[in-house]
Amino acid sequence: MATTDTVLRPDHASRRRHFIFTEEHDQLRESIGSFVEKELQPHAQEWEESTFPNWVFQRMGELGFLGLSYPEEYGGQGGDYYCNLVLAEEMTKSNSGGLAMGVAVHTDMATPPIFLFGTEEQRQRYLVPAIKGEKISCLGITEPDAGSDVAGTKTRAVRDGDEYVINGSKTYITNGHRADFIVLVTKTDPDAGYDGFSLFLVDMDLPGVIREKKLEKLGMHASDTALLAFQDVRVPAEAILGQEGKGFYHIMWELQGERLIGAAGCVAGAQRCFDRTLEFAKERTAFGRPIGRFQVIRHKFAEMATKIEAARQMVYTTAWRFEHGEYPVREISMAKLHASRVAVEVADECIQIHGGAGYMKEYGVERVWRDMRLNRIGAGTDEIMLDVIGRSYGI
């Protein structure tokens, strides 16, 4: 029989998993998390200076972490989309936003279009070695004069017999210096509007592919970010990825997965920053008591926890719809907008709670703030997300 004691006692410590996850996801979480903590996290500080090494891809390929939701026939693990969420969440344990981003570009941005739109030959040539960690990928959308406005792409691919000749440039390309190939957005017919785009799979060692500057940035220091030039790069006609002329729609599809996985990383990163700061607030004393005992600090935690939980529910519910075959662009945009804002707000508040220590590298929260700040810009800015959401109501 239920008693007041059993029914009304708040269960703050409940570890019940969210309904989208199963025991297998828990096991996967455990194995990725322990790998990240043992093999990646110890290098986090060093890689902030040097960028992370390529062996990370090889090692993660060996462990099967680069193809969690790809079919086994391509070397993947045959899991569902939620496995990718688990990876994005567990990668935050590396204490390196740049590392998590470099891996996510490979697993959730550059390779999904190859699986969905690629020919069997392209899958064998690029996807299979990418899943093994033998080939590293990058994604080239942004150009010096075309970021939010993808339709303003100037990189041209012109047909010449059995080949295409590519000219143009791409900027801010994550993994651009280390990549073996790029999924490249080009215009094949400048007069055809949105129907004039095509994607190409381009080997980065081809003549005319120039890796220009390694760009210096505010955060995400462990990742490499490249300015790339393409000068008369010749690729065979079979290098087209997906349908000729449909590249704009293909890349818009890609961006949905990129945004959702980014949102999952934001929630997990914010939670981690929250947890570390909570420990700090229990230990740090001022005016004779732990700072967490001041109501103003307690309320900061309450605000942060509420925001993180709301963002998490948005991400999980949207992922559930995505996994069930829906294409919830509005909700993905909302989740991306909200989760990235929450991550930046939480990191900022965590610095405040740390006081001067928050400004010091030693405590790690300043890095979270610098890393997280990118999420309000990359993969579509806040302003673009708001526009996508607003337009979805027919205005």
- Binding residue (CB under 6 A) for ligand FAD from 95, 107, 174, 340: 174
Minimum distance from residue 106 beta carbon to ligand FAD (Å): 10
Query: What b/e sequence results for 294-309 when a residue is b if at least 16 CB atoms lie within 10 Å of its CB, and e otherwise?
Result: eeebeebbeebeebbe
Site size for ligand FAD (CB under 6 A): 23
Minimum distance from residue 22 beta carbon to ligand FAD (Å): 32
- Binding residue (CB under 6 A) for ligand FAD from 305, 310, 377, 389: 377
Q: Does 163 bind ligand FAD (CB under 6 A)?
A: no
Instruction: Please choose, from the candidates 230, 248, 213, the residue with its C-alpha nearest in 3D space to the C-alpha of residue 169.
Output: 230
What are the angstrom distances between the C-alpha of 227 and each of 164, 173, 180, 213? 22, 7, 15, 5
> Residue 172 region, left (φ>0) first, then alpha (ψ -120 to 50), else beta?
left
- Binding residue (CB under 6 A) for ligand FAD from 199, 220, 263, 344: 220
Q: Does 139 bind ligand FAD (CB under 6 A)?
A: yes
Q: Which is nearer to ligand FAD, 95 or 277 (CB)?
A: 95
Minimum distance from residue 148 beta carbon to ligand FAD (Å): 3
Q: Does 60 bind ligand FAD (CB under 6 A)?
A: no
- Would residue 258 show up in a list of annotated catalytic residues for this protein? yes
Footprint of ligand FAD on residues 179-218 (CB under 6 A)?
217
What residues have CB less than 8 Å from 328, skipping those under 6 apart?
318, 321, 322
Q: Which is nearer to ligand FAD, 107 or 174 (CB)?
A: 174
Q: Please tell me the distance from the alpha carbon of residue 45 to that of residue 43, in angstroms, as a whole number.
A: 6
Q: Please tell me the distance from the alpha carbon of residue 261 to that of residue 133, in angstroms, as a whole number.
A: 20
The one catalytic residue in 89, 90, 244, 258 is 258
Q: Please tell me the distance from the alpha carbon of residue 205 to that of residue 67, in angstroms, as a whole number.
A: 24
Joined together, the tokens standing for residue 23 give: 């025991």
Catalytic positions = 258
Q: Which residues bind ligand FAD (CB under 6 A)?
A: 105, 138-142, 147-148, 172-174, 217, 220, 225, 374, 377-381, 383-384, 387
